[in-house]
Amino acid sequence: MTDRPALGRRELIRSAVAVGGAVGLAACLDAIGEDAPKGAPPAGVADPSRLPERQHAWDDRIRHDDAGNAELPRHQSLWYLELQEPPDADARVSLETALETLDRALERSHDGLLYSLAYSPEYFDRYFAEPLPEGLDLPPARRLSAFETPEIDRQDALLHLATDRPTLLLEVEAALRGELDRLNGVTVETALTDVFDLETRRTGFVGAGMPAAEASEVQGVAAGTTIPDASPLFMGFKAGFARNQATESYVTLDRGPFAGGTTKHVSNIRQRLDDWYGEQSYEERVMEMFSPGHAEAGLLEGAGDGLGDDSKIDRFVDDIEADASEYGRVGHAQKAARANRDADGNVLLLRRHFESSDEGQASLHFPSLQRGISQFEAVRQAMNGQDLTQVSPAVRQRVNNGILEYIFTKHRGNFLVVPRSLRALPTPTGGPS
């Protein structure tokens, strides 16, 4: 390994992933050293048609912490794709072949590769005369607060790649571009980029230690700001506790041509970390991320290990107006939870967020899976807390109102994660074109 004292190994690997392509791959191989996952990645399946229909079935294929909380693969990328030609039979075969290469080459797991290919409502609208099924809740993405002005992602498709192996992520990407002959011993026959143009590539990471290591790489983190080493995310806390997440089954469409699929909203949110850490004490961050009651009861230590598999947020949801009056602050999780339960108390959204330092900015990629996009929209509107600004003037549109002061939504896009058997350029009816 080359001696480069200015950057730590982790940062080197991460910047290699962010750069991508052949340059990134070379840099990554150079940086990865000896303590990357050992040996070749586990192989995939001989018959991809026997893989589960749910492309989003990741939970039994990833690591979990001691409390049973999901730990997503450490390295991820999002490929926003535009079709080169309207979909046809040749393109479908070519695309399916490219994807089956991944299925054969790599185990569907954090140690191999997890991925899903999803399609935007704009794709269905652009290329097909027939409408999507009645009852499929998949509107185009839109602005979801009175203060954000996100760019809407209207590309045809979104490929989400995730693995614990940074070099492998780059190799997979090279295979999808047709730049590799073989992937983990399997011949690469077609390139995904024969069918799609890669319009935008975004990358990211998640896991204890990674945000702390990455902090020096991003703008918006003041010198002296210390992101706790144990934190899997930039803002210093764990998120997505098992009991506060929807199950994969719950978010899966159970009828219609896309049964087995799910809807996916992905936002990209810039974070202003120097103010988050610089303007506030740990207690204040706990109040704003969880609830004033969490701080008062001392429920958290560090990044939130003491919480086990439950953020305990449901206990504090009913306090929210009283908290606005008493503390002049309300919590992010507390607000969102108000709209994130069904009548039986089941959680509606399965959040799979990860961090990014693309373009030197600290940001969050926020994919959320749910049966319908309107569920996501309702949770986001609850998180806006506009009602609470009327309870106390101390809670303002974006100040003392959860974490809204520190986050800036830059992109939003809606997608349909189709069942695996329909993943190659589906029609709106799920049938052959």
Q: How far apart are CA 370 and CA 264, in angstroms?
A: 7
Minimum CB separation from another protein for residue 151, in Å? 12
Indicate the residue type of 287: M
- Which residues does 162 contact at the CB level (< 8 Å), separation at least 6? 58, 72, 73, 75, 76, 110, 113, 114, 115
Minimum CB separation from another protein for residue 302, in Å? 25
Q: How far are the Cα atoms of 223, 273, 285, 286 from residue 277, in angstroms, in the given order?
A: 11, 6, 8, 11
Pick between residue 361 and residue 433 the one whose CB is nearest to another protein: 361
Minimum CB separation from another protein for residue 278, in Å? 8
Pick between residue 183 and residue 286 the one whose CB is nearest to another protein: 286
3-state percent helix, strand, coil for the chain, nearest multiple of 5: 35, 20, 45
Q: How far apart are CA 383 and CA 335, in angstroms?
A: 5
Token couple for 342: 């069904």
Indicate the residue type of 337: A
Minimum CB separation from another protein for residue 25, in Å? 26
8 Å CB contact between 162 and 78:
no
Token couple for 314: 């449901």
Q: Which helix (H) or strand (E) holds 269?
A: strand 262-271
Token couple for 341: 């339960």
Q: How far apart are CA 291 and CA 271, in angstroms?
A: 20
Minimum CB separation from another protein for residue 376, in Å? 20
- Which residues does 65 contact at the CB level (< 8 Å), separation at least 6? 71
Token couple for 251: 């978010």
Q: What are phi and psi of 186, to 5 degrees?
A: -105, 135
Q: Binding residues for another protein, per CB under 8 A?
A: 143, 145-149, 219-220, 222, 270, 272, 275, 278-279, 325, 327-329, 359, 361, 386, 389-390, 392-394, 396-400, 404-405, 408
Minimum CB separation from another protein for residue 357, in Å? 13
Minimum CB separation from another protein for residue 145, in Å? 8
Cβ-based burial of 183 (10 A; exposed 0-12, middle 13-18, buried ≥19): buried
Pick between residue 131 and residue 393 the one whose CB is nearest to another protein: 393
Minimum CB separation from another protein for residue 214, in Å? 17
Pick between residue 23 and residue 399 the one whose CB is nearest to another protein: 399
Pick between residue 33 and residue 393 the one whose CB is nearest to another protein: 393
Pick between residue 303 and residue 404 the one whose CB is nearest to another protein: 404
Pick between residue 205 and residue 406 the one whose CB is nearest to another protein: 406
8 Å CB contact between 323 and 184:
no
8 Å CB contact between 402 and 291:
no
Pick between residue 76 and residue 363 the one whose CB is nearest to another protein: 363
Minimum CB separation from another protein for residue 378, in Å? 17
Pick between residue 104 and residue 270 the one whose CB is nearest to another protein: 270
